[in-house]
Structure 1
Amino acid sequence: MHAWLLPLLAFTTAGALFTITPGLDSIMVLRTAAAEGRRAGVGAIFGVALGLTIWGLAAAFGLTALLAASSKAFFIVKCVGALYLLWIGCSQLFHPRAALTTSPPTTFRPPLTSRHDFWSGFRRGVLTDLLNPKAGIFVVTFFPQFIPPDANIVAFTLVQVVIQALLTFIWLGLLVALTVPLARFFNKPVVVRRLDRLTGLVFIGFGAKIFLTHSPVAP
């Protein structure tokens, strides 16, 4: 039996539990898919996966360790991520839309899609993941727990990145598949306003939580 097999099975199990736990990425992808359609939702999934991959590569080659070792670097990334989420949250809370599509609620049609929808969702997914320093701290503290003592750290971490990205694709893809058929319900004005405000509050909560996260460096 390969020395990596059991550690990777343990990591996959733990990673799957982490992936299906409701969090910022899931909320963002669900909101994007419901608001802009399947193509934008898929773009958001690719963006989240890319953001996660970048954090994983950073962990493998030492950049994320800088956030764990430098209070100043952690503080800068933390503030940028928190402000970004607070801006999105306040926009949705105080300026909710009356409909997720331009079609009247009584004559619902699925939202028109174009190649720009994919890239819009993609950019949102990348920014959401990269501007969340907790994602980097999670990677740098969670991944190493499963690395065997004699394993090549960079190679093993890269395998972990691939596994976590696949888990992300599978779970978020399932969420998009289940969300898009519910677009008729989400297009009702009262539902849209409540969804926007609720999502705005959640984003504000995540932003505040990130801002209050202390650097792992002892003061």
Structure 2
Amino acid sequence: MFGTQDLTLFIISGLLLNIAPGPDSLLIMSRSASQGWRAGVSAALGIGAGTCVHVLAAALGLSALLATSAWAFTVIKWVGAAYLVYIGLQMLLSRRVSTAAEPLAAPPALSYRKIFAQGFLTNVLNPKVALFFLAFVPQFIAPDAAHKSLAFIVLGAIFNFNGMLWCNFLAIFTALASRRLRLQPWLRAWLNRAIGALFLSFGLKLALASK
């Protein structure tokens, strides 16, 4: 169909890859835990929009530039790493409203638009996501496909759709679990700090990564 092959294997592999933890999942979980499922869904939609950019870039051959140009890869890598570090520091150093009863209250809420932008930039500024699509998706395009770019876009859309199912499930599940556990504001603040530290580590790991 549309020049694809082994579609069932592609769907199963894509689901397993989406379930694997990373910066995207952590962002969704942190926003859902601190602001509810709508915030988590906003982050998920931003991540999905970023994935669309990667799919189109790979289909048009732009991702091949990252694979062949050390300069382009380095620029995107450093920008992406800087943004991950920025988010991590923002979580670690965000101002908190303190009271005598709650000496460490939950961090201030972000607008859904800002959360969407965070999800989008976290995903789209990661050059390894672009290289992943360039390496993974072509394995499921038939060698004799008449329109390989169309096949790439179809597979990318399927991957992104499955990813959105998982991301939205993660957002809703995390919000429900947070409500069920009745996390206190001080515990949410420390959770925010822990996730901020993880984002710092992701940013440093990306900055030190080679192709």
Equivalent of residue 126 in structure 1, options 115, 120, 124: 120
Q: Is 1:53 the equivalent of 2:49?
A: no
- Paired with 1:210 and 1:195, the residues of 2 have a C-alpha distance of 23
Q: Measured at CA, do residues 5 and 95 of structure 1 come closer, stay the same or move farther in structure 2, by a change above 3 Å? A: closer
The answer for the alignment partner of 2:131 in structure 1 is: 137
Supply the distance in 2 between the matched residues of 1:101 and 1:205 (Cα, whole angstroms).
21
Quote how far apart the aligned CAs of 1:202 are.
0.9
TM-score (norm 2): 0.87
Name the residue aligned to 2:207.
211
Q: Count matched residues.
A: 202
Cα distance between partner residues in 2 of 1:19 and 1:203: 18
Q: Name the structure 2 match of 1:150.
A: 144
1:173 matched to 2:168: yes
Cα deviation, residue 187, structure 1: 4.3
d(CA) in 1 for partners of 2:149 and 2:113? Answer: 31
CA distance in 2, matches of 1:187, 1:117: 21
Deviates more, 1:36-45 or 1:195-204: 36-45
CA shift at 1:79, angstroms? 0.3
2:78 pairs with 1:79: yes
Tell me, which stretches of 5 or more residues in structure 1 are unaligned? 103-110
Corresponding residue for residue 163 of structure 1: 158
Gaps of 5+ in 2: 97-103
8 Å Cα contact 2:4/2:151 also seen in 1: no
Question: What is the distance in 2 between the residues matched to 1:208 and 1:42?
Answer: 27
Q: Which residue of 2 aligns with 1:28?
A: 27
Q: Distance in 1 between matches of 2:26 and 2:9?
A: 26
Q: Which amino acid aligns with 1:125?
A: G
Deviation at 1:21, TM superposition (A): 0.7
- Aligned partners of 1:160, 1:46: CA distance in 2, in Å? 19
Check conservation: 1:93, 1:201, Cα contact below 8 A: yes
* Cα-Cα RMSD: 2.2
Give the fraction of aligned pairs with identical amino acids, expressed as a percent: 37
Q: Which amino acid aligns with 1:182?
A: A
Contact 2:3-2:144 at 8 Å conserved across structures: no
Which residue of structure 2 lines up, in the alignment, with residue 99 of structure 1? Answer: 105
Distance 1:87 1:51 in 2: 18
